């Protein structure tokens, strides 16, 4: 459970994500999707209950361990990059500062990742000079620099121009093809259908339905899932 000032924003949430699984979370604005992701990675502490990352757990009293935290990469809707730093520094800052990689290692890893997101020519650019789509590609590279086992995406394309959305979705798709475990909050329903092993519908702080994409989109069981899907334009 997660409360803000006695207001319960996550209630009775019970969710297992298996290794290699892609879980897509959908639901109306304010339903607790971001809070769920933030609680999973320890960005928000939980009020009660527990989170297990493999055999490591954390609770209201025991904070997330550094080891568990490092297994997870997080991609935010609004990128959360350091705008005044270069692309390279954004990617290498944390691994170098936390002594996970040497300066040389960090740079080599950053260059490999920049190739993957097709931005190697921007390595020395200031992040502030990049487009939204480019910023998100850098944010993905930054999250991958620490070799996470789990990637969490919180509406990674919601702040982007329509023509750049596809680029980001393709990168995420490629990542899923490598077997990466992922939890993705998105409103891109056709993408969700294509990529998800299971889809979760959240409303009012609760998980109301968990199903295969086929079942959830074509034969939703819960009336609120049906109402939500009917309200949005998709596919």
34 is a site residue for Mg ion (CB under 5 A)? yes
Q: Are strands 181-185 and 150-154 parallel, antiparallel or unpaired?
A: parallel
- Identify the three-state secondary structure at position 195: helix
> What b/e readout covers 204-222, taking b as 16+ CB neighbours within 10 angstroms?
ebbbbbbbebeebbeebee
Give the one entry of Mg ion, ligand ADP, none that residue 35 binds, where binding means its C-beta sits below a cut-off of 5 to 8 angstroms depending on kind.
ligand ADP
Q: Which is nearer to ligand ADP, 41 or 114 (CB)?
A: 41
Nearest to 183 by CA among 62, 56, 60, 35: 35
Least gap, CB of 13 to ligand ADP (angstroms)? 11
From the CB of 153, what's the least distance to Mg ion, in Å? 11
Q: Choose the one of ligand ADP, Mg ion, none that binds residue 101, judging by a C-beta under 5 to 8 angstroms depending on kind.
A: none
> Does 32 sit near ligand ADP (CB under 6 A)?
yes
Task: Tell whether the torsion through CA atoms of 154, 196, 210 and 49 is positive or negative.
Answer: negative
Nearest to ligand ADP of 134, 154 (CB atom): 154
Give the other-Cβ count within 10 Å of 142's Cβ: 25
Nearer to ligand ADP, 33 or 122 (CB): 33
Burial of residue 197 (CB within 10 Å: 0-12, 13-18, 19+) is middle
**Hey, what are 107's tokens?**
């740079």
Residue 224 has a CB neighbour count (10 Å cut-off) of 18
Residue 30 engages ligand ADP in binding (rule: CB under 6 A): yes
Nearer to Mg ion, 3 or 94 (CB): 3
- Binding at 9: pick from Mg ion, ligand ADP, none (beta carbon under 5-8 Å per type): ligand ADP
Tell whether residue 145 is a contact of ligand ADP (CB under 6 A). no
Shortest CB 159 distance to Mg ion, Å: 11
Under 8 Å between Cβ of 71 and 148: yes
Measured from the CB atom, is 33 or 224 closer to ligand ADP? 33
Helix (H, G, I), strand (E, B) or coil at 196: coil
- Contact positions with ligand ADP (CB under 6 A) in 9-28: 9, 27
Could you list the residues that contact ligand ADP (CB under 6 A)?
A: 4, 9, 27, 29-35
């Amino acid at each position: 459970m997660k409360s803000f000032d006695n207001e319960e924003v996550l209630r009775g949430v019970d969710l297992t994500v298996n290794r290699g699984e892609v879980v897509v979370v959908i639901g109306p604005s304010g339903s607790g999707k971001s809070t769920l992701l933030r609680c999973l990675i320890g960005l928000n502490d939980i009020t009660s209950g527990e989170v297990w990352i493999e055999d490591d757990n954390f609770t209201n009293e025991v904070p997330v361990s550094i080891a568990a935290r490092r297994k997870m990469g997080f991609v935010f809707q609004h990128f959360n990059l350091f705008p005044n730093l270069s692309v390279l520094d954004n990617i290498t800052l944390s691994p170098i500062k936390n002594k996970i990689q040497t300066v040389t290692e960090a740079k080599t890893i950053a260059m490999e990742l920049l190739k993957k997101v097709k931005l190697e020519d921007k390595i020395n650019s200031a992040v502030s000079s990049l487009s939204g789509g480019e910023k998100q590609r850098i944010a993905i590279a930054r999250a991958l620099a620490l070799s996470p086992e789990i990637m969490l995406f919180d509406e990674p394309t919601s702040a982007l121009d329509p023509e750049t959305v596809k680029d980001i979705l393709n990168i995420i798709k490629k990542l899923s093809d490598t077997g990466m475990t992922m939890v993705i909050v998105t409103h891109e329903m056709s993408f969700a259908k294509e990529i998800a092993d299971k889809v979760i519908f959240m409303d009012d702080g609760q998980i109301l339905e968990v199903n295969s994409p086929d079942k959830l989109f074509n034969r939703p069981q819960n009336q609120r899932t049906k109402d939500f899907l009917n309200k949005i334009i998709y596919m």
